[in-house]
């Protein structure tokens, strides 16, 4: 009966024999039999204890039912429960020791028995980096089996420990229905209390394993895998006994922060290297490109928790299942999934930068005010939503509306980014993966992510936007917010003192460790050629790649906000409001450098200086400097089209370039008029004629409305006709003009309608305006 594991039957038989023996105990031979029966009962109990211990690794409902029935027949239900918990504790210790020992001996390559004598803690230090992950996975798989057995043990008592006995294999039902409520209560409390004890043992064993190896040099994917396994184990703990797993969380947090600091430091150095070798060429991605298509962001589209196949289980039901329910009849949540990266495809790159042959033929067309739209473009157009081509029936008006504004009509949706931008985006995805798995280090991760953006932004500014003459223009090219942001990045992240070998204080050394040397533009990038509009293509690719990067950060904001600790949320809000949102503001200073050189404003001043303005009759023909200036603008337009053959110039960029050029031209016109020594009323009328002619021709070249600084010129011309009192008030109200421009206005009016006394009064008013500036 014992060989067949029929423990209840064997005990029942023994007890019946004992009962019969007690009836005839006055016979000496029966007394000896009774003694032997007692010995047999004790032997059965020992075997029963061994049978009970088997439950810990592989719970079998029939087996456990027989064991429980046997203990109840013996009246030792409480003893059984005490023994069961001792077996579970021992099972955890033996399991982890055997798993780790197996890997240590395998890697050692010999049959030396010295490892078997080591303590578990010391044994863990002998695990090699190559075997670390498979050993951890096997460790968790084995511990899962122990916890699942405990879970199923509890489940058995909940279902069958109230008199409802499942039939044992032989059909007998011999549960002791007289079991006291006290016994049941004891068992229930013991099992409940055992949950946290067993989980604590599991945590401590895994913690010992985690801290036994230095993971700082692990590959990123390997480290993420470790985090993934521990994250799953934490989930198991939550479901097993409602534990927050502080022991596990603390140990993995320590490893993660150390690992991540080293990892981030290396990535920042790599980013500097990428930026210094970047030639600012387009990375040809499809117009339908989304960062969610990248491997690094796949985790955002799918849950890390394994679920039953949708074909086998409705999604709503799957979401409600715990891991214990999903795997109670087989499988293991810690099975290592084969890395399926190679099987996944990243369909993000366009072939040769185009999405179809038709587009390749017509991607870059030149447009001017008189050109018609080529037939191919009427036929072929990239759909903004899907990126598909061709799309039929695009209206002529739609295409016309894009003339001159987007200098590359096709690929209107294709994001402008470089290989370096794509690398930064991938890094952000990796950082978010780590943060998603280990939320307690979310702030550290987001802080490091912000540094990636800061450094990229600062590099673009340093390479293409730094110019000492910005503020002297009076055009407000850099907002105070942008200047504050750039100064903050420089102070907190940029190591300006790279050459210094002077050893500072320990604090200073630590601070420098956190900083990165200032990047330098590759010598292959030429920004001084007029033919390329002073590196306009490179400037567009660089600046718009930053804007694109900012858009991706905006897209991710809600995800970051969801994991950011409440106390740290102001940091995230400040990062977005003061840094990410200022990225597009770099367009103004960067494109101003092009606009300042693209048109020969100095030549225009020389031509204007040779004009005669004290004419005596109304002129019907404008001056030649206007034609010269318009030719400059036509040449600028032509060069813009040439640049657009390399890179699409988005509407906001072309608008800024045109606005800058027109504003600079109009301010040069005012400066030219301010250089005039003598001017008559007819001469002033000629100035108006010149300016109107300029505006009329200019409006055919650009869609910019209203023309920037148009009033700046017209107001200055008309001020010539003001009376003394009106002019004094006008001077006080128009501080946008320079002292020289205002002084000249007064001087040229002298003799016509302003006398010397009035002149002195007006000059004094100008001097009063100028005094606060000194």
Tokens describing residue 149: 């057995």
Asked if 335 and 144 touch (Cβ cutoff 8 Å), the reply is no
Q: What is the mean pLDDT of residues 396-422?
A: 63
pLDDT per residue as tens digits for the range 588-628: 999 999 999 999 999 999 999 988 888 888 888 889 999 99
372-381 burial by CB neighbour count: b if 16+ within 10 A, else e? Answer: ebbebbbebb
Return the structure tokens found at 770.
């100028």
Distance from the first to the final alpha carbon of the chain? 110
- Three-class secondary structure of residue 744 per DSSP: helix
Residues 6+ away with beta carbon under 8 Å from 369: 404, 700, 701
Predicted local distance difference test score (pLDDT) of residue 506: 52
Distances (CA, A) of 2 to 8, 48, 79, 87: 9, 9, 21, 21
Report d(CA 191, CA 457) in Å as an integer: 58
DSSP code at position 495: E
Identify the band that residue 169 occupies on the pLDDT scale cut at 50, 70 and 90: very low
List phi, psi (to 5°) of 495. -90, 100
Task: Give the chain's length.
Answer: 774
When comparing pLDDT for 400 and 557, which is higher? Answer: 557
For residues 81 and 191, the answer to whether their CB atoms sit within 8 Å is yes
Q: Using an 8 Å Cβ cutoff, are 285 and 348 in contact?
A: yes
The H-or-E segment that residue 182 falls in is: helix 181-211
pLDDT above 80: residue 3? no
Tokens of 745: 């206005």
What contacts 335, CB < 8 A, 6 or more positions away? 137, 141
Give strand pairing partners of 750: 754
Task: For tokens 């029963």, name the residue.
Answer: 48
Percent of the chain, pLDDT > 70?
75
Question: How does DSSP classify residue 169?
Answer: T
In the chain, where are the structural domains located? 278-299+413-496+511-589, 599-718, 722-773
What torsion, rounded to 10 degrees, do the Cα atoms 614, 618, 621, 625 define? 30
CA distance 275 to 455: 10
Secondary structure (DSSP) of 69-121:
HHHHHHT-HHHHHHHHHHHHHHHHHHHHHHHHHHHHHHHHTS--GGGGGS-HH
Task: Count the Cβ atoms, other than its own, within 10 Å of residue 170.
Answer: 12
CB of 131 within 8 A of CB of 106?
A: yes
Question: For residues 18 and 161, what is the distance between their CA atoms, to the nearest angstrom?
Answer: 27
**288-304 mean pLDDT:** 81
Residue 448 zone, left/alpha/beta (φ > 0; ψ -120 to 50; rest): alpha
Q: How confident is the model at residue 377 (pLDDT cuts 50, 70, 90)?
A: very low
pLDDT at residue 664 tops 90: yes
Q: What distance separates the 2 farthest-apart alpha carbons in the chain?
A: 157
pTM: 0.76
> Is the pLDDT assigned to residue 252 strictly greater than 50?
yes
The pLDDT score that the predictor gives to residue 302 is 62
How far apart are the C-alpha atoms of 304 and 432, rounded to whole Å? 13
Radius of gyration, CA atoms only, the chain:
41
Q: Using DSSP, state whether 315 is helix, strand or coil.
A: helix
pLDDT category of residue 488 using cuts at 50, 70 and 90 = very high
Structure letter (DSSP) for residue 113: G
DSSP string, 405-469: TSSS-TTTT-----HHHHHHHHHHHHHHHHHHH-GGGHHHHHHHHHHHHHHHHHHHIIIII--TT
The angle subtended at Cα 290 by Cα 284 and Cα 291, nearest 5°, is 100
Using CA atoms, how far apart are residues 411 and 88, in angstroms rounded to an integer? 65
- Location of structure tokens 């494109």: 591
Q: Quickly state the pLDDT bin for 658 (edges 50, 70, 90).
A: very high
pLDDT for position 478: 76
Read off the pLDDT of residues 446-467 as tens digits, 9 standing for 90 and up: 999 999 999 999 999 999 988 7
What SS3 class is residue 485? helix
305-358 per-position pLDDT tens digit: 443 333 334 444 445 788 888 888 888 999 876 455 444 567 777 765 444 444
Q: Mind spelling out the 3-state secondary structure of 551-614? A: HHHHHHHHHHHHHCCHHHHHHHHHHHHHCHHHHHHHHHHHHHHHHHHHCCHHHHHHHHHCCCCC
Of residues 352 and 236, more confidence is placed in 236
379's tokens: 């036929």
Query: Which position has the higher pLDDT, 449 or 176?
Result: 449
Question: Which of 344-353, 627-636, 671-680 shows the lowest per-residue confidence on average (mean pLDDT)?
Answer: 344-353
Q: Which two tokens stand for residue 460?
A: 């673009």
DSSP 3: T
Structure tokens at 543: 């600046």
Nearest residue to 546 via CA among 498, 490, 486, 598? 486
Res 379: pLDDT: 39
Nearest Cα residue to 387 out of 440, 442, 350? 350
Percent of the chain with pLDDT over 90: 43
Grade residue 266 by pLDDT with cuts at 50, 70 and 90: very high
What would the pLDDT profile of 23-70 be if each residue is shown by its tens digit?
Answer: 555 555 555 555 565 666 666 677 888 888 988 988 989 888 888 888
Whether residue 541 contacts residue 284, with contact meaning beta carbons closer than 8 Å, is answered with no
Average pLDDT (124-149) is 94
Instruction: Indicate whether 112 pLDDT > 80.
Output: no
């Amino acid at each position: 009966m014992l060989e067949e594991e029929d423990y209840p039957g064997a005990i029942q038989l023994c007890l019946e024999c004992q009962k019969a023996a007690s009836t005839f105990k006055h016979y000496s031979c029966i007394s000896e039999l009774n003694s032997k029966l007692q010995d047999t009962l004790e032997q059965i109990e020992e075997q029963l204890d061994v049978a009970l211990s088997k439950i810990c690794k592989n719970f079998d409902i029939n087996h456990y039912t027989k064991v429980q029935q046997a203990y109840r027949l013996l009246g030792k239900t409480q003893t059984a429960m005490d023994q069961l918990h001792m077996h579970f504790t021992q099972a955890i210790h033996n399991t982890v020791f055997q798993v780790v020992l197996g890997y240590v001996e395998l890697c050692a390559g010999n049959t030396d028995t010295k490892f078997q004598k080591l303590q578990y803690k010391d044994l863990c230090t002998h695990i090699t980096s190559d075997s670390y992950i498979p050993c951890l996975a096997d460790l968790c798989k084995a511990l899962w089996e122990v916890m699942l057995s405990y879970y199923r043990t509890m489940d058995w008592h909940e279902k069958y420990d109230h008199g409802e006995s499942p039939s044992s294999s032989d059909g007998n039902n011999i549960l002791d229905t007289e079991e006291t409520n006290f016994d049941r209560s004891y068992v229930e409390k013991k099992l409940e209390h055992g949950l946290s004890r067993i989980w604590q043992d599991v945590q401590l064993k895994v913690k010992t394993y985690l801290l036994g190896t230095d993971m700082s040099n692990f590959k990123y994917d390997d480290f993420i895998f470790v985090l993934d396994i521990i994250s799953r184990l934490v989930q198991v703990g939550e479901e097993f006994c409602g534990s927050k797993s502080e022991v596990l969380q603390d140990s993995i947090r320590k490893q993660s922060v150390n690992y991540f600091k080293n990892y981030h430091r290396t990535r920042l150095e790599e980013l500097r290297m990428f930026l210094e070798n970047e030639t600012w060429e387009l990375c040809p991605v499809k117009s339908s490109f989304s960062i969610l298509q990248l491997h690094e962001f796949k985790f955002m589209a799918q849950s890390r928790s394994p679920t039953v196949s949708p074909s086998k289980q409705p999604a709503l039901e799957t979401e409600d299942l715990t891991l214990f329910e999903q795997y109670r009849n087989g499988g293991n949540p810690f099975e290592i999934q084969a890395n399926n990266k190679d099987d996944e495809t990243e369909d993000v790159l366009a072939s040769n930068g185009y999405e179809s042959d038709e587009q390749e033929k017509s991607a870059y067309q030149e447009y001017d005010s008189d050109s018609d739209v080529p037939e191919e473009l009427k036929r072929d157009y990239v759909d903004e939503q899907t990126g598909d081509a061709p799309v039929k029936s695009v209206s002529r008006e739609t295409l016309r509306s894009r003339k001159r504004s987007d200098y590359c009509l096709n690929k209107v949706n294709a994001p402008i980014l470089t290989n370096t931008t794509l690398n930064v985006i991938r890094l952000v995805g990796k950082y978010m993966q780590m943060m998603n798995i280990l939320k307690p280090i979310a702030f550290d991760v987001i802080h490091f992510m912000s540094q990636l953006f800061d450094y990229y932004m600062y590099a673009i500014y340093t390479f293409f936007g730094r110019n000492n003459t910005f503020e002297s223009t009076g055009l407000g090219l850099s907002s105070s917010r942008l200047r504050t942001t750039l100064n903050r990045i420089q102070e907190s992240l940029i190591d300006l003192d790279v050459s210094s070998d002077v050893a500072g204080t320990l604090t200073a050394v630590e601070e420098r460790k956190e900083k990165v040397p200032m990047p330098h533009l590759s010598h292959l990038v030429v920004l001084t050629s007029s033919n390329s509009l002073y590196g306009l293509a490179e400037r567009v690719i660089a600046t718009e790649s930053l804007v694109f990067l900012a858009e991706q950060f905006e897209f991710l904001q809600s995800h970051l906000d969801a994991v950011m600790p409440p106390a740290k949320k102001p940091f995230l809000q400040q990062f977005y409001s003061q840094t990410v949102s200022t990225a597009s503001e770099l367009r103004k200073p960067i494109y101003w450098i092009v606009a300042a050189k693209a048109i020969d404003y100095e030549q225009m001043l020389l031509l204007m200086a040779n004009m005669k303005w004290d004419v005596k009759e109304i002129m019907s023909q404008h001056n030649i400097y206007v034609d010269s200036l318009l030719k400059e603008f036509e040449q600028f337009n032509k060069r813009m089209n040439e640049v657009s053959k390399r890179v699409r110039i988005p509407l906001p960029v072309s608008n800024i370039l045109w606005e800058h050029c027109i504003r600079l031209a109009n301010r040069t016109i005012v400066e030219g008029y301010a250089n005039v020594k003598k001017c008559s009323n007819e001469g002033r009328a000629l100035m108006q004629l010149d300016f109107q002619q300029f505006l009329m021709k200019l409006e055919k070249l650009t869609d910019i409305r209203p023309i920037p600084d148009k009033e700046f010129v017209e107001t200055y011309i008309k001020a010539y006709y003001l009376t003394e009192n009106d002019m004094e008030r006008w001077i006080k109200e128009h501080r946008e003009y320079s002292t020289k421009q205002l002084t000249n206005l007064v001087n040229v009016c002298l003799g016509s309608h302003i006398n010397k006394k009035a002149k002195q009064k007006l000059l004094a008013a100008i001097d009063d305006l100028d005094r606060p500036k000194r």
